Amino acid sequence: MSRHASRLRASTDELLPLSVVLEELDITRATWYRWRNRGACPRVHRTPGGHLRVRRSDLDAFIREMEVA
């Protein structure tokens, strides 16, 4: 993969902070944690500082799945 392609992929598949994910899904933090406890949310990554992040591609796939259901 060329450097340009890897840079382009990295920018389109960024790790989003939870606040952005909540805003895009239009849900509260309590709803997020309820969904997460049930296993019904996008895959989450934890930063070394303990913050939660979601990959853009995982969030987009999750939103597409919700639209179909």
Q: Which residue in 66, 9, 14, 12 sits closest to 40, CA to CA?
A: 66
pLDDT of residue 68: 87
Please name the amino acid found at residue 24. E
Mean pLDDT over the full length of the chain? 87
Q: How confident is the model at residue 15 (pLDDT cuts 50, 70, 90)?
A: very high
Separation between Cα atoms, residue 49 and residue 59, nearest integer Å: 21
Estimate the crossing angle of helix 56-68 against helix 18-25, to 10 degrees.
20
Higher model confidence: residue 10 or residue 43? 43
Identify the CA nearest to 17 among candidates 40, 45, 38.
Answer: 45
Nearest to 58 by CA among 27, 21, 23: 21
What does the pLDDT read at residue 39? 93
What does pTM read for this prediction?
Answer: 0.77
Asked if the model's pLDDT at residue 3 lies above 80, the reply is: no
